[in-house]
């Protein structure tokens, strides 16, 4: 293929990646080292109230933002280095809590609380999604062809549901007098409050993510099973290999590139967990790094947003994703070089 033809195909994708990925990411990275604040001036105001013979007046000094000729608030931007990152991570409090082995003090810092849940959510759901997806793919691949289509359709239903709607549906089953809560109360004879404590909410969030994403892994693995060499499986069966041995030494090695691909996609998606926090309304007990960035962007009582700290939080999230992806990317690179 000539370079001009190649460039004509690639240029639109590169342009969109620069506009919608590289440029915003660079902007967030730069903003994380600066602080933009409104200019404040002290203004003396007089407040008067009606009195019996004369008005009662009091003088107050207020801090009000400076406005320009168009009525907009005048702001100043200054370089602060790593101060925004320190404000998010709170290294002094974190080190003090770690040195004293005070887990509660560490979890009182929003960043570390969010990081703990994000890592737990990502690393716990990853093997469950891969394992369940592979199990469903093997089960469907071994079913009769006449019912394989309906089984595939039913298996894909959780993945079709919108994430927020799915999370709300699971929540409604358990919150208050939900159907499943009432059933568990009737079976156990005790009152159950699934959303009164953090660990039960976290279990429901983990369950929902596995239920929602496992069909994606199933589709990928099922497609990979269709490309497997049947002669290799038959040779393993003739040699007396058990089902587990065929799975370990024939099927899994054949699907390993797809397992790495599913793991990469899931790590990137799960580390940015946000829909579950919103759908389950877990902010009082469980938060994620993505939700922390969103919360920092919410205006306070004065209408100000902590954009700089939100940028630092977003960059820390990106760094975490890169760290998690490095081992899988290195394995993919070694496999690629070995194949050549």
Instruction: Provide the CATH number for the domain around residue 230.
Output: 1.10.3720.10
Tokens of 62: 């207020």
Q: Is residue 55, in this structure, part of any structural domain at all?
A: no
* Residues 8, 10, 13, 17, Cα dihedral to 10°: -120
Q: Is residue 123, in this structure, part of any structural domain at all?
A: yes
Give this prediction's pTM. 0.82
Asked if the model's pLDDT at residue 171 lies above 90, the reply is no
Residues 45-84 as b/e (b if ≥16 CB within 10 A, e otherwise) read eeeeeeeeeeeeeeeeeeeebeeeeeeeeeeeeeeeeebb
Q: Is residue 64, in this structure, part of any structural domain at all?
A: no
Q: CA of 13: how far to CAs of 9, 103, 261, in Å?
A: 8, 46, 21
Asked if the model's pLDDT at residue 338 lies above 80, the reply is no
| Number of domains, the chain | 1
Tens-place pLDDT, residues 115-151: 999 999 999 999 999 999 999 999 888 887 778 788 8
Report, as an integer, the average pLDDT of 221-226.
90
Higher local confidence (pLDDT), 211 or 303:
211
C-alpha to C-alpha distance for 145 and 340, rounded to whole angstroms = 37
C-alpha to C-alpha distance for 182 and 189, rounded to whole angstroms = 10
Asked if the model's pLDDT at residue 339 lies above 70, the reply is no
Q: Look at 14-18, 178-182, 272-276, 335-339 and tell me which has the smallest mean pLDDT.
A: 335-339
Name the residue among 310, 297, 290, 289 with its Cα closest to residue 27.
Answer: 310
Q: What angle do CA 120, 270, 33 make, to 5 degrees?
A: 90
- The residue behind tokens 């079913």 is 143
Query: If you average pLDDT over every residue of the chain, what do you get?
Result: 84
| pLDDT for residue 302 | 63
| pLDDT for residue 179 | 81
Q: Is residue 259, in this structure, part of any structural domain at all?
A: yes
Contacts of 206 (CB under 8 A, 6+ apart): 121, 124, 125, 128
| pLDDT for residue 239 | 79
Q: Is residue 288, in this structure, part of any structural domain at all?
A: yes
Tens-place pLDDT, residues 311-334: 999 999 999 999 988 888 888 788
Sign of the CA dihedral 133, 138, 143, 148? positive
| pLDDT for residue 258 | 92
C-alpha to C-alpha distance for 126 and 124, rounded to whole angstroms = 6
C-alpha to C-alpha distance for 211 and 106, rounded to whole angstroms = 31
C-alpha to C-alpha distance for 8 and 31, rounded to whole angstroms = 34
CA neighbours closer than 13 Å in the CB half-sphere of residue 62: 9
Helix, strand or coil, per DSSP, at residue 192: coil
C-alpha to C-alpha distance for 224 and 133, rounded to whole angstroms = 12
Tokens of 122: 């990502």
Q: CA of 122: how far to CAs of 116, 127, 164, in Å?
A: 10, 9, 18
Contacts of 246 (CB under 8 A, 6+ apart): 233, 236, 237
CA 313 to chain centre: 13
C-alpha to C-alpha distance for 105 and 96, rounded to whole angstroms = 9
Helix (H) or strand (E) holding 47: strand 40-49
Report, as an integer, the average pLDDT of 200-211.
90
Q: Is residue 97, in this structure, part of any structural domain at all?
A: no
**% of the chain with per-residue pLDDT over 70:** 95
| pLDDT for residue 311 | 92
Higher local confidence (pLDDT), 57 or 29:
29
| Angle between helical axes of 307-339 and 23-31 (0-180°, round to 10) | 130
| pLDDT for residue 130 | 94
| pLDDT for residue 118 | 94
Query: What domain range is 186 assigned to?
Result: 108-339
Q: Are the CB atoms for 210 and 129 separated by under 8 Å? A: yes
Asked if the model's pLDDT at residue 337 lies above 80, the reply is no
Q: What angle do CA 83, 89, 94 make, to 5 degrees?
A: 120
Asked if the model's pLDDT at residue 53 lies above 70, the reply is no
Q: Is residue 182, in this structure, part of any structural domain at all?
A: yes
Higher local confidence (pLDDT), 9 or 37:
9
Q: Is residue 324, in this structure, part of any structural domain at all?
A: yes
């Amino acid at each position: 293929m000539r370079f001009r033809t190649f460039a004509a195909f690639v240029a639109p994708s590169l342009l969109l990646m620069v506009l919608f990925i590289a440029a915003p990411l660079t902007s967030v990275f730069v903003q994380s080292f600066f602080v933009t604040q409104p200019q404040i001036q002290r203004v003396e105001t007089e407040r008067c109230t009606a009195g019996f013979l004369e008005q009662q007046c009091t003088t107050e000094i207020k801090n009000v933002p400076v406005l320009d000729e168009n009525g907009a608030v005048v702001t100043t931007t200054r370089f602060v280095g790593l101060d925004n990152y320190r404000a998010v991570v709170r290294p002094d409090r974190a080190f003090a809590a770690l040195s004293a082995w005070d887990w509660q003090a560490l979890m009182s810092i929003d960043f570390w609380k969010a990081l703990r849940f994000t890592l737990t959510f990502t690393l716990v759901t990853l093997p469950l999604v891969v394992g369940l997806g592979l199990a469903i793919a093997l089960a469907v691949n071994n079913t009769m062809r006449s019912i394989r289509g309906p089984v595939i359709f039913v298996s894909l239903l959780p993945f079709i549901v919108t994430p927020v709607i799915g999370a709300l549906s699971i929540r409604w089953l358990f919150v208050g007098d939900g159907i499943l809560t009432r059933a568990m109360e009737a079976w156990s004879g005790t009152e159950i409050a699934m959303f009164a404590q953090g660990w039960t909410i976290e279990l429901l969030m983990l369950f929902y993510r596995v239920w929602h994403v496992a069909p994606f892994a199933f589709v990928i693995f099922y497609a990979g099973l269709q490309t497997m060499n049947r002669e290799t499986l038959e040779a393993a069966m003739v040699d007396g290999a058990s089902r587990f041995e065929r799975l370990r030494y024939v099927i899994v090695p054949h699907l390993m590139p797809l397992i790495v691909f599913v793991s990469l996609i899931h790590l990137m998606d799960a580390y940015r967990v946000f829909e579950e926090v919103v759908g389950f309304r877990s902010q009082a007990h469980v938060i994620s790094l993505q939700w922390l960035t969103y919360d920092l962007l919410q205006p306070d009582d004065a209408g100000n947003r902590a954009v700089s700290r939100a940028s630092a939080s977003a960059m820390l999230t990106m760094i975490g994703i890169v760290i998690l992806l490095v081992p899988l990317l290195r394995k993919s690179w070694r496999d690629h070089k070995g194949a050549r």
